[in-house]
A and B are shown apart, each in its own frame.
Chain A
C-alpha cells in the first residue's frame, strides 16, 4: 500500500514541483528584493532621462521597516533633498498586503501634513518610470505565475517566470521576470502590452553584498514607447540600522530626525 503511495507521489512530483517553483520563486524573490533585514536605509539618487537626453534628478533618503513576514506590512519614510522645490518634503507610506496603502505627505512651506489618495498603485513615483508598485512591490496573489524557461543573464543562471495579472484592466497583459537562481533577485523584467508587444524593461545593473544581503544598488526602468528612462542608484545602503517604530508618525514627518537624514 505504502509503496503505491510513494509511486504515485513520485509520478506527481515533477508536475507539482514545477507549479510550486513559479510561486515559490516569486515569493523568494519578493523576500530577497523588498524584505531583507529588519529595516533598510539608503540615499536614493534617481535620474529621469528623456529621449533627447535631458536629465532631471530626484534625490531622497529612504527608510523602510518590516512589520511581520516577507510579503507582510511595511512602512516607508522618505525625505527629499532634490529638486529644490520639494526639498525638506517628507513622504510616508504604510503598505499592507492585499489592501490599499496609507500615504501622507508633509509640505514644509506651510507646515502641513496631508493624507493623499493612493488607489492607483500603477501611478508613477515622483514622475519617474517606476510606479509605486515597482518601488514597494506588487501583491503576488494578484497574478498567476508560471515558469517559462531557464536562461542566463550574464553569468547568472535565472529562472524566467511569466506573471499574468488576474485583473483584466491592467495596463500590461503579462510580465516576464528573470529571477537569479542563487540570490532570487530579479535581474530583468519585461512588460508586454495588450498586443503582446514589449514596452517596458527593468534591469538590475549592479548588485552588491550589503551586510550579507545581495542588494540591487543600481537599477533602471526604460519605457520603449516614449524612450524615457529612469536610473536609480542606492548610496549608503544599510540593513538593520535600528529604525524605531515611532519614526513613522506625524511628529517625525514634520521634523525628520537629523541622524536618519544624511
Chain B
C-alpha cells in the first residue's frame, strides 16, 4: 500500500532539476505545438462571427466587423422576400431579425439544429452511461471472480474493435431496418454502447485490478454484502478510472459521423451529420457551418476541462498509484 510504494517510486530514478535553458526550450516547443493545434479551432471560431461575404473573401480577412449572422442562420430557416414586403413589416424584434432583413429575407421558423444538438446530447451521454455502467460491472466480474475462459472472453470483447466499425456498416444498416431501429435514439445509443463497452471493460479492468481485494474482504467481514462492498468501497476508489473511461466513451459517441450519417436522417439525426447539410441550403453558408461546429465543440470541451485530472491519470493509468 502507500507505505511501501512511494519509496520504491522515488528510489527508481534520480531526479535532476532541468536547467533554465532546457526549461525555456521545452516551454517554447509546447507553446508552438499548442498554437499549431489551436489555429484550426481559432479559424472556425473567427469564421463563425464573420459575415458571409467576409468569410469567402480572398485573401482571408483577419480584421473584420463581427457579425452574428452565422449564428442566426444556424438556428433559423429564412425565406426571400421583396424589399417592399420587408419595408412594410413592423420594426425588427431582435438582432437576428435585423441581420436577416438586410439580406432581403425574413425568418420563417427555427432550424433543425437545436433538436439535432439535443439528439447528440441524449445519444452520447446515454450511450456513455450505459457503456461505463456495463463496463464497470463486467470489469469487476473479470477482475474478481473466476470466470470460465476469462482470457478468451476478454480477447473476444477486444476483437470487436479490431476491424474498422464502418466495415460492418452495411449489415448493421440492414439489421436496423429490419428491427425498426433505424433513425431512433435507442438504436444509436445501443450501437455506440456496443462499440464503447469493449474499451470500457478493458480500461476499467485495469483500474479495478489495481484496487486490492482486501478492501472488499474487509467490508464483507465488517458486515456488508458483496454488492454493498462494491458500492461503498470499490466504486469510490474507482472514480478516477470511471471518469477517464467516461470521457473516452463520450468523445467517441459525440464525434461519431459515419454510422450517424448512415443510420439517421430524421428525428434521431445527431449534430455531426446535420452540420454539413447547412451548406446545401441557399449557397455555401460558411459562417453558419462554423457556428454549428463552434457550439458542437463546447460540451466536450467543458466536460474534458472538468475531468482533465482524471483524463491525464487515465492516459497514464497503471503508472501512477496514490
A binds B: no
Chain A residues in the interface with B (C-beta under 8 A): none
Where the two chains meet, the residues of B that have a C-beta atom closer than 8 Å to any C-beta of A are none
